[in-house]
Structure 1
Amino acid sequence: MPPITTHFNLPITGMTCASCAGRIERTLRAVPGVSKAIVNFATEQAHVEARADSMPALIHAVDKAGYSVMNERLELAIEGMTCASCSGRVERALAKVSGVRSVNVNFASERALVEMVGLPDPEVLIQAVNDAGYTAREITDRQTSDYRARIRGNSERTAMGFAIALAFPLLLPMLLEPFGIHWMLSPWVQASLATPVQFLIGARFYVAAWKALKARSGNMDLLIAVGTTASYGLSLYQWARTPEGGMPHLYFEASAVVIALILVGKYLENRAKRQTAGAIRALEALRPERATQVIDGVECDVAISALRLGDVVSVLPGERIPVDGEVTDGESHVDESLITGESMPVFKPFGAKVTGGAINGNGRLLIRTTAIGAESVLAKIIRLVEDAQGAKAPIQRLVDKVSAVFVPLVLVIALITLIVWLSLGASWETALINSVAVLVIACPCALGLATPTAIMAGTGVAARYGILIKDAEAVERAHNINAVVLDKTGTLTTGRPRIASVIAVNGDEQEVLALAGALQAGSEHPLARAVVEACRARAVGLAPLATSRILPGKGIEGSVGNRRLKFGSRRLLSPGMNIPAYVIKQAQVLESDGHTLSWLVDAGDRPKVLALFAFTDQIKAGAAVAIRKLQERNIECHLLTGDNVGSAKLVADALGIADFRAGALPADKSDTVRKLKKSRVVAMVGDGVNDAPALAAADLGIAMGSGTDVAMHTASITLMRGDIMLIPAALEISRKTYFKIRQNLFWAFIFNAIGIPLAASGLLSPVIAGAAMALSSVCVVGNALWLKTWKPGTAR
């Protein structure tokens, strides 16, 4: 039979000309199984006919050619999952859909994050989930999703209430017996109470079990359905064989009470799971739906979705800021605590940047919109938290493997229990009840909830205090960190340097300041901002900048008027360049005093130094305490900076850092991190573009949120404010979260390791087994929720 051929449409990014399209075509045609490949440069699409299983090879070929296949992400709400084996089955079903690159199904949040090539068709994914025996829908509005979850929760509560009301009379004789009261309901009454619990309220277990069997799999529902049906059937058998007028030994209470207890456990478990997702709901609540737009001095109330970049909005005292923007009029203190974790209001003068979701304090502000929708800071924070909570920690892979074989293994153990008891001469009644107890007490729910609930609780509470953990894997890596490499400027220091002195070779400070200011006007580098601020303070006019380019690790080069200039570190100085002796001597003095030095160079035909700039930057408050906390945990601290030796030594000595390296280029920083990784587990902390390679090279990258987007995208953890105390706090919450994961997994495994043998030995009745099983899941989720009590100040 010839292989099935299908048609793929791959959206390609990175093409700049028609030759790129040709190169991709040739690469795709070389892939085994490809019969046709046409790349359209205008639409940026590749149309490929190939074997149905060729998608991974096609993507790899495009990547190898130097381009990339565009991915889209879709979030689905999954209903009907009852244990970890269910989430694994949904994952496998979605992974088989053509075009799916990765799938993460989170049993705790009941969400599936699907990454697909090109524009995904939600209906195809939903159908795949339905075919696997579950229900799926696309999440487009979280408020609607939460509303549906509440409706489902109310339905669960109602079913639980009826089950308890019907099962309690069956349990009552057992409760009264220790007090010497021997009372029993008639068989007809017992059957009347147990039947609706078993087949109406418990119908969900039969439906889910049947779907699992059709998918040639097993789940918790199968164990419950088999176990309770056996108890119910045994009761009917005992009743039928008892002579009229006799009182048979019935087990209706076992089937009904087990179902009621399991429903109680699932209800409490689901309530607790919703609490672990409270961080995202709290962030979503920060988004205002309306804003006051100002057009030609006239204010009008508009929907947030109607705003565009550059629009001006008015925010009165006490109102929530609707957009990311810049203050164009007014000044006020702004409460950003729910976004950055900063407890004190932050003063926002003219020109300051503000974040949507923050609360305006005591003054009216006019704000020009600089980011809307998915590009806003709040939207990015929510996306990061969702990604972290939806991702799987590496330790979860072991749990998934165990869960996949757990139910079949329990069925085998239950069958062995039945056979062994019968072989020992026990009655069918005793053997079957012990076998039922094995089925009831064994449940993979606790295993499936152990990791995701801890991840959701830990990342959620961290986000509340301004610590954004990008992925679950970062939590596992962070708890092993034993070395931290720290950048200086913007990390250990405030990142707001000021000019301490200017030494002009020709003696005209105003002129060299004007040239340096013109060259640095468009730069976001802290030293550039210091130069521009000095020009503004001294009312120095800036000439227009014709061209400019960054010199990585050195500085900046550009043309001001008819002069080509360079501004930056000592590396700009070429050998033999004429530098007055008094300037060299002054540079040595300033550097030994811990100043950062920058040189302004005329880069014409005969390069020469025009001026020397000396900058000073304050060490952040709390930096010494943060370093001491890290060292108390036996974490080595290393200082790595592109600044001069004198400045680096001053900061290192003040903070008690024994190992420091100055004058490091971006490549030097990443090389240093790689060398340290050979003997240590390394975290890199930085905030600038030049820190990005080192952040990527480290075992764990931590970006200061006051830094650049490049650094934050590269890092695994982002600190939303420049408080250096968040570094030990980030490692602490990661360590606590990982500890909770291990703790949960330990108790889940131990529970089954102890409970199943006890049930098989006849030491547990089905009722006690059902209560224990329900309690195990509630305990695991409750244990994870303890993380919500964590505060940065509790780090030790």
Structure 2
Amino acid sequence: MSHSLALHRDLEAFVRRDDAGRGRFELLVRGARCAGCISKIEKAVRALPGVEAARLNLTTGKLSVELAGKISDPGRVLETVEDLGYRACLFDPAEAEAAQDKEGKELALALGVAGFGAGNVMMFTVPAWAGLFGQELTPATLTLMYWMAAIVATPCALFAGRPFFRSAWASLRRGKANMDVPISIGVILTLIVSFSETLLGGKHAYFDAAVTLLFLLLIGRYLDHRLRAGARSAARDLLALQAPVARRLTDGVEQGVPVADIRVGDLLAVAPGERIPVDGLVEQGASELDNALITGETALAPVAAGARLHAGALNLSGRLVMRASARSEDSTLAAIARLMEAGAQARSTYVRLADKAAALYVPVVHTAAALTFVGGWALGLGPREALLRAAAVLIVTCPCALGLAVPAVQIAASSRLFRRGVLVKSGAALERLAEADHVVFDKTGVLTQGRPALIDAPAHLVAQAAPLARASRHPLARALAAEAGAGPVAQDCVETAGQGVEGVIDGRRARLGRAAFVGVQAGDVRETELWFGFENNVKIRFAFEDRPRADARDTITKLRALGLSVEILSGDVEGPVRDVAREVGVSDWRAGLTPVEKAAAIDALKAQGRKVLMVGDGLNDAAALSKAHASMAPGAAVDAAQNAADLVFTGDELAAVVESIETAREARRRALENFGFSALYNLVATPAAMFGLVNPFVAALAMSGSSIVVLLNAARPRLRSFNR
């Protein structure tokens, strides 16, 4: 009782409570590996009195718990998680990162040891097979070969199998059996039978099978760990865009403070070139903001007193004094990061083809092995012979072909896509991509080139305005300067926030910027235009546009031919989105969406049963990319978007999207073919082993042959999408 009270007091200090007494805290949970773990932990914690909600993120290991009131006991949450067989402690990002790194290093080391054992044990088991070619080894030599194999394979198998043994033991202690239980039983039983045969002078030992099986399984386990590490880095890159230090104003004096210490109501100063540290409102000053990372809108947003600011937006031209309306953990960036975590968690529940096959394979094979032992003993075989036949069933049906069925195809498909400029981050990504039936495109930087381009301006007019354009940081001015090329810069330049730049060109005063700033009373003012003129002279208008990619319309047509519907979700204003949608041939589009609204749109499509492929490049797309069934980003996308996406394509062509879908669908067909062959192989091999018709050479030949067939099918010259 005293321990429980102490635990309550210790954890209560880390609960963040509001005025109504409702609280929130996080725990780091270790040992959770699958969707079943998530469901079990969340259900048990939510059942506790005083707990309103619980959410476990499998990627980060963070369990977020919301408490209804002060009567709730946070210590009970930790006890409940540990009673389920998992380790838990207060969540510390650094400790969570260290735990994940430690797991990755352990898996990499186990994989290396298993690979070493699988390769070197063959030096001693291959000679044992020589007797099957009429070159019989003497009993003493055969026994020596098996003892040497045992010396190599046993420590390798026991060391490399630790991740499976620990997981299986933790599961059995809770009275349950996860997928690591049959794997552990198979490895340990194989080693026991092999030692028994070696001690008794038998002809058959299977040390090589035990360590080879672990090697194949660890490949998948390590790749899965790397996938989760990529999901963690996406959220980390996103939060890195938040300014680490803010400049708080106290009695007119600026003081640098960590952004985590900012409270609602604080006055903050933001200089040109700095990012907005937290959400808030402008109190003083005027400037232009680059909101492209937040909303995807290409045009700069002029702001003045009273305007709303979002964390992560870039202040370009003027000093702002703002009043914080939210803490850093409640900012727009933090909200997007939470959406990305939720999307990563949802993806972690995706059941891959290999897992579906293994769910059928493992119980069937182990049941067959058990029946072989019981049936053989009942029919008059000795316990040793019955056990050997049962072990033969486990070994002959070693899931080499099954284990290679999907990875071999995915490696072949990924390598071919890589040569075409598409980076595939995981095999599961290809599987999800093959299932996609609806494509959502962002506009800016995806369907379009993502940068303003000058429209049909005479070269001599461009040359006149270029000296002023070279003196400005405005994106449209930079586009004008790029069109003109290198050259002189105007003198005595002064840039007015949100208006334009003024300077002297060859002794004449000139202005470049908004229509009113230059002295033009324009009726229809567009954000994608600049005006230029010398003092008391004719004014020149320069128009810009973000042009669609050259193959955008053709890509949309091909996607529809593949049976996919297409939609545009953009944070840009309505006019440019409508124009681009019309030009590329998309009738279903929405404009002006926030990152949260984009993610909600993806959720709504998923609720309708759609398998959504999201293609985006901005920070405002990151949450939607994480939530989509599959996702792609161009190579020019921000880091957070690239890390959140399943595939990244380089170059200026959208054809990579079509090629990736076709390749993924073909890879899925190849994988299913491999599963069919593997099932046929096991259908023949299992009865043969049960009736004692399989010797070591036949087993080795059959296993090797099945694996070769699978590999050859995966590596058939070219997938259909590359046969054009």
Q: TM-score, normalized by length of structure 2? A: 0.54
The residue number in structure 2 matching 1:706 is 636
Work out whether 1:413 is the aligned partner of 2:374: no
Could you tell me which residue of structure 1 aligns to residue 264 of structure 2? none
The one of 171, 176, 197 aligned to 2:132: 171
Within a 5 Å distance, the mapping from 1:612-631 to structure 2 comes to 613-616=542-545, 618-631=547-560
Q: Could you tell me how far 1:634 is from its partner in structure 2?
A: 1.6
1:198–1:69 CA distance, 2 compared to 1 (3 A): closer
| Inter-CA distance 664–528: structure 2 relative to 1 (3 Å threshold) | farther
For the residues of structure 1 that align with 2:363 and 2:21, how far apart are their CA atoms?
A: 39
For residue 202 of structure 1, the aligned residue among 141, 147, 150 is: 150
SS at match of 1:759: helix
The Cα shift of 1:509 comes to: 10
Query: What aligned pairs does 1:33-48 form with structure 2 within 5 A after superposition?
Result: none
Q: Which runs of 5+ in 2 are unaligned?
A: 28-40, 63-81, 173-180, 228-343, 503-510, 532-538
Paired residue for 2:98?
A: 120
Among candidates 161, 184, 191, match of residue 225 of structure 1: 191
Structure 2 vs 1, CA of residues 201 and 65 (structure 1 numbering), >3 Å: closer, same or farther? closer
**SS at the partner of 2:698?**
helix
Residue 794 of structure 1: aligned partner: 722
Residues 670 and 430 of structure 1, relative CA distance in 2, 3 Å threshold:
closer
- Tell me if structure 1 keeps the 8 A contact 2:421–2:651: yes
1:530 maps to 479
Letter in 2 for 1:759: A
Letter in 1 for 2:375: T
Q: 2-side partners of 1:446 and 1:409: how far apart?
A: 20
Gaps of 5+ in 1: 11-19, 35-52, 74-91, 103-114, 130-135, 140-144, 176-184, 237-251, 281-386, 548-556, 573-577, 588-595, 602-609
Q: Secondary structure at the match of 2:446?
A: coil
Distance 1:543 1:662, change over 3 A: farther
Kindly indicate whether residue 664 of structure 2 is the aligned counterpart of residue 734 of structure 1: yes
Could you tell me how far apart the structure 2 residues matched to 1:70 and 1:206 are? 33
Q: In structure 2, do the counterparts of structure 1 residues 398 and 793 end up closer, same or farther at CA, with 3 Å as the change threshold?
A: closer
CA contact under 8 A between 2:439 and 2:612: conserved in structure 1? yes
Asked if structure 2 preserves the Cα contact closer than 8 Å seen for 1:160 and 1:264, the reply is no
Letter paired with 2:556: I
**Preserved contact between residue 417 and residue 760 of structure 1 (Cα < 8 Å):** no
Q: Aligned with 2:455: secondary structure?
A: strand
Q: Would the alpha carbon gap of residues 265 and 487 (structure 1) be closer, same or farther in structure 2, given more than 3 Å must change? A: closer
Name the structure 1 match of 2:123.
Answer: 161
The letter for the 2-side match of 1:120 is A
1:394 and 2:351 aligned:
yes
| Aligned residue identity for 2:562 | R
Partners of 1:5 and 1:199 lie apart in 2 by: 56
Shift of 1:631: 2.7
Q: Give, in whole Å, the separation in 2 of the partners of 1:746 and 1:702.
A: 30
Q: Report Cα offsets for 1:61-110 as digits up to 9, x if no partner.
A: 999999x999699xxxxxxxxxxxxxxxxxx9xx94555999xxxxxxxx
- Give matches, 1:446-595, under 5 Å: 446-451=401-406, 458-459=413-414, 462-500=417-455, 521=473, 523=475, 527=476, 529-533=478-482, 543-545=493-495, 557=498, 584=524
2:613 aligned partner: 683
Aligned with 2:648: secondary structure? Answer: strand
- For residue 480 of structure 1, report the CA deviation from its aligned partner: 1.5
CA contact (8 A) 1:702 1:718 kept: yes
Q: Which residue of 1 aligns with 2:285?
A: none
AA aligned opposite 1:160: M
Deviation (angstroms), 1:705? 1.8
Whole-Å separation in 2 of the counterparts to 1:26 and 1:645: 41
1:122–1:4 CA distance, 2 compared to 1 (3 A): farther
Q: Identify if the C-alpha distance between structure 1 residues 470 and 119 changes in structure 2 by more than 3 Å, giving closer, same or farther.
A: closer
**How far did residue 707 of structure 1 move?**
3.4
* Cα separation, 1, equivalents of 2:667 and 2:652: 23
The answer on whether the counterparts of 1:206 and 1:222 sit within 8 Å (CA) in structure 2 is: no
The corresponding residue for 2:141 is 193
**Matched AA of 2:528:** S
Partner of 2:655: 725
Does the CA-based 8 Å contact 1:689-1:708 persist in structure 2?
Answer: yes
Deviations along 1:454-505, one digit per CA (max 9) or x if unpaired, are: 55555455445432344554333211212223344433343444222689xx
Residue identity opposite 1:633 in structure 2: L
Note if contact 2:436-2:613 (Cα within 8 Å) is conserved in structure 1.
yes
- Taking the aligned partners of 2:367 and 2:512, their CA distance within structure 1 comes to 72
Quick check: 1:583–1:612 contact (8 Å CA) kept in 2? no
Q: Report the residue type matching 2:188 in the other structure.
A: L
Tell me which residue corresponds to 2:254. none
Residue pair 1:487, 1:685 contacting (<8 A) in 2 also: yes
Q: Structure 2: how far apart are the matches of 1:746 and 1:158?
A: 32
Alpha-carbon offset, residue 633 of structure 1: 1.3
Distance 1:639 1:785 in 2: 35
> For residues 457 and 653 of structure 1, do their structure 2 counterparts lie closer, same or farther at Cα, with a shift above 3 Å needed?
same
1:539-564 Cα deviation digits (max 9, x unpaired) = 566944465xxxxxxxxx47879xxx
Taking the aligned partners of 1:2 and 1:32, their CA distance within structure 2 comes to 22
| Aligned partner letter, 2:652 | G
Amino acid at match of 1:417: G
* Distance (Å, rounded) in 2 between the aligned partners of 1:473 and 1:6: 45
2:376 counterpart letter in structure 1: L
- Quick check: 1:485–1:639 contact (8 Å CA) kept in 2? yes
Aligned CA distance change for structure 1 residues 661 and 204 (closer, same or farther; 3 Å) = same
| Cα gap change, 1:711 to 1:222, in 2 (>3 Å) | closer
CA distance in 1, matches of 2:61, 2:492: 45
Is the 1:686–1:702 Cα contact (8 Å) retained in structure 2? Answer: yes
Deviation digits for residues 251-273 of structure 1, max 9, x if unmatched?
x44x05x557x499779979999
Partners of 1:65 and 1:432 in 2: how far apart?
A: 47
Do 2:469 and 2:480's aligned partners in 1 also have CA atoms closer than 8 Å?
A: yes
Secondary structure at the aligned position of 1:659 is classed as coil
CA 1:100/1:684 → structure 2, altered by over 3 Å: closer, same or farther?
A: same
Contact 1:417 1:434 in 2 (8 A): no
Per-residue deviation, 1:32? 10
Amino acid at match of 1:521: R
Structure 2 CA distance for aligned equivalents of residues 695 and 530 of structure 1:
29
In 2, Cα distance between equivalents of 1:466 and 1:7: 54
Give 1:794 deviation, angstroms. Answer: 0.6
Give me the TM-score of the superposition, normalised by structure 1. Answer: 0.50
Partner Cα distance (2:52, 2:638) in 1: 27
Equivalent positions of 1:102-117 (< 5 A) are 117=95
1:392–1:452 contact (8 Å) kept in structure 2 = no
Is the contact between residue 454 and residue 737 of structure 1 (CA under 8 Å) also seen in structure 2?
yes
The offset of 1:203, in angstroms, is 4.4
CA contact (8 A) 2:438 2:565 kept: yes
Contact between 1:512 and 1:611, CA under 8 Å: does it hold in 2?
no
Counterpart of 2:235 in structure 1 is none
Matches within 5 A, 1:327-366: none
Secondary structure of the structure 2 residue equivalent to 1:490: helix
How many angstroms apart in 2 are the aligned matches of 1:100 and 1:441?
47
Quick one: distance in 1 between partners of 2:24 and 2:443?
Answer: 48
Q: Of 659, 672, 676, which aligns to 2:587?
A: 659
Give the aligned partner of residue 635 of structure 1.
564
1:438–1:760 Cα contact (<8 Å) kept = yes
Query: Does structure 2 retain, via aligned residues, the 8 Å contact 1:644–1:663?
Result: yes
1:29-64: CA deviation from partner (whole Å, max 9, x where unpaired): 967999xxxxxxxxxxxxxxxxxx99x989x99999
CA distance in structure 2 between the partners assigned to 1:63 and 1:733 by the alignment: 45
Is the deviation greater in 684-693 or in 265-274? 265-274
TM-superposition CA deviations, 1:559-593 (whole Å, max 9, x none): 879xxx99899xx9xxxxx996x855xx8xxxxxx
C-alpha contact (below 8 Å) 2:449/2:549 kept by paired residues:
yes
- The residue identity in structure 2 corresponding to 1:786 is A
Contact 2:635 2:648 in 1 (8 A): yes
Choose 489-498 or 399-408, whichever is displaced more: 399-408
